[in-house]
Structure 1
Amino acid sequence: MTLQRQTRKKKKVRKFRLFMMVFLIAFLAIGGYAAYQYISASLDANADNNLSDDVVFNGSDENVDNVNVLVMGSDSRGEDGGRADTIMIANYSSDTNQPKLISIMRDTYVNIPGYGYNKINAAYSIGGPELVRKTVTENFGIDINYYAEIDFKGFEKLVDAVAPGGIEVTVTPEMTTDEKALGVELTEGTQKLHGKELLAYSRFRHDANGDYGRVQRQQEVLGKLKKEVAEVTTVAKLPKMIGIANGYVSTNVRNGLLLSMGTDVLRGKTEDMETMRIPMDDTYHDARYDVGAVLEFNVGGLEQNAQEAQTFLNQ
């Protein structure tokens, strides 16, 4: 293999890894100054994150064509302590080249295996990614292959590395009057937001839409980040971005699988991302128990959501 071909191959591998790490809510090294960038960013990220170094996860690590990845976003300094602020199932089928995303609202009231009924995000604080996997499988019948655990501080830094000019979104009037809840000050209107502001935009839930609006914004931001990464052409940026992602994302997704999915994306084979939310409209009601306000399934609602989710992921 010639040196030129080896160089082209290395560039492709870096781009593949970068895209997939961002797709998994922010995502996975080279020499000279580039090596310095990678190592420096990675060390800073590892020292600054809240992720566990010893994660137990018993998902089925099989060579399957239809892959489900449990994606969890957490911030141990947040209002819910160590609970998962974001729970998603990212799916990719090599047969259809279709990326899909299911967002599970954090107040969804489910049976946590061995611990009884609680909000689904409590499973994360009780037993980490493995208990979240068991909870999703038991309640919705979805087989999970891998996990990706993301520290929100890494999201901020990765957004700034991937899109230094920001990501364009529309800030609502409610967001401009809730600086305390957001931790940042936003201005009403369509504009480009950087990492810290974009994270606040994604997590905002103090308006009439509550968590429903937050889920929509998270899915919106992920779709726009996907497009930004696919357009990244400056190889000089890649080491730093990969180093940041490597330090703030804990995942057991195989490198070979990352490269396979990344190849499809960068060759333009993938479709636009399809999304779904659990619980679905008209299948639940608001309720309150000793664990607080929850979203409780109507009679037959859990089964309906489970069936629709399975169909969504496998069609």
Structure 2
Amino acid sequence: MRSARHQKKKRRLKKRAIFILFSLFTVCIAGAAYFYSQYKDAFSKSNDDTAIAQTEYDFDGKKDKYGNTNILLLGSDSRGEEHARTDTIMIAQYNSKNSKPKMVSIMRDSYVEIPGHGMNKINAAFAYGGPELLRQTLKENFDIDLQYYAILDFQGFVKMVDIAFPEGIEIDVEKRMSKKIGVTLEPGRQMLDGKELLGYVRFRQDAIGDFGRVDRQQQAIKAISDQIVSVDGITKLPKIVGAVSPFVNTNIGVTDTIGIGKDILSGGSTNIESLRIPVDNGYENRRVDGVGAVLDLDLDKNKTALHEFLDQ
């Protein structure tokens, strides 16, 4: 009698376990379907004749010696045209051990040795040999390994912001801005749409010029990160990836992109640490015949600062 009750109880537990597993499986399938539908919906809205030309680039990248994933981020108005320089050069780092994101901005006028081409502004490396030559240039000058690259078209940036964040991105605009950016921005904390945010990050018509522009680029990225965390978190990632995909030329797969973003958000380390190269007191302003105004780097000082920042 007792054995029969025991067997009956085991069968009930087994059925319950099967039901729970089936329910979890159903939720996972539904979640995956939702993620995919969000990605495809945003992708279809973005994928029109303004999408970036998907030129295939060779890129001999790898993880750094500490196992970190370093991504070369490039921003350009060229939309794939040949021999274009890059307006924005950044390194984004993802540490899989602590899910800690970091970001480095490389000033485009930094005067460095470009393999096979001599001394020039660092953004000329892309015009000479695409992201691979820029990777080699960063490796030769700063001994930094890069695994992936991503080239974002600025007009795609506008559309991505408008699709993924229809209410805009909150920015504290520090001064009135209008010259050569296509919009007029008044001072104060406000929600910026894609065109306004692009104008904000491109403004450089003041006393600090390109240095201010680089600072605003970093602020905008941090603001977008904060918006993701505060509004929808992980569930918004497929929509963002789908919106930006037609405007990004990259060797990072969609699954890896969402996976890295999910790990960063779920890991709790959403605060992005940032650095600018050259560092303060690590350069001199100089004019070079045939090149123009450059930032003549104290290479050892900047290399040390970069490694102290990324190798932690």
**TM-score with structure 1 setting the length:** 0.82
Instruction: Determine which structure has greater relative contact order: mean sequence separation of CA pairs < 8 Å that are 6+ residues apart, divided by chain length.
Output: 1
Unpaired runs of 5+ residues, structure 1, are: 15-28
**Cα shift at 1:10:** 4.6
Structure 1 residue 189 and structure 2 residue 188: aligned?
yes
| Cα root mean square deviation, aligned | 2.7
Q: Do the aligned residues in 2 keep the contact of 1:169 with 1:191 (CA within 8 Å)?
A: yes
Unpaired runs of 5+ residues, structure 2, are: 1-21
Match of 1:116 among 99, 115, 118: 118
Structure 1 residue 67 and structure 2 residue 90: aligned?
no
Residues 51-77 of structure 1 show CA distances to partners (whole Å, capped at 9, x for unaligned) of 442111111269974111110011128
Distance 1:196 1:150 in 2: 15
Q: Do the aligned residues in 2 keep the contact of 1:230 with 1:265 (CA within 8 Å)?
A: no
Higher mean alpha-carbon deviation, 232-241 vs 121-130, is at 232-241
* SS at 1:229 equivalent: helix
* SS at 1:144 equivalent: coil
**Cα shift at 1:96:** 2.4
**Cα shift at 1:239:** 6.5
Residues 22-57 of structure 1 show CA distances to partners (whole Å, capped at 9, x for unaligned) of xxxxxxx33xxx68734532531xx32344421111
Kindly provide the amino acid, as one letter, of the partner of residue 172 in structure 2.
Answer: T
Q: Do the aligned residues in 2 keep the contact of 1:109 with 1:117 (CA within 8 Å)?
A: yes
Q: Pairwise mapping of residues 3-82 of structure 1 onto structure 2 (< 5 A)?
A: 3-11=26-34, 14=35, 29-30=36-37, 37-38=41-42, 40-44=44-48, 47-60=49-62, 65-76=67-78, 82=84
Kindly provide the amino acid, as one letter, of the partner of residue 41 in structure 1.
Answer: K
Q: Pairwise mapping of residues 127-166 of structure 1 onto structure 2 (< 5 A)?
A: 127-166=129-168
Q: Do the aligned residues in 1 keep the contact of 2:238 with 2:258 (CA within 8 Å)?
A: no
Q: Do the aligned residues in 1 keep the contact of 2:111 with 2:122 (CA within 8 Å)?
A: yes
Match of 2:204 in 1: 205
**Cα shift at 1:269:** 2.4
Kindly provide the amino acid, as one letter, of the partner of residue 291 in structure 2.
Answer: V
* SS at 1:84 equivalent: coil
Percent identity at matched positions? 44
* SS at 1:82 equivalent: coil
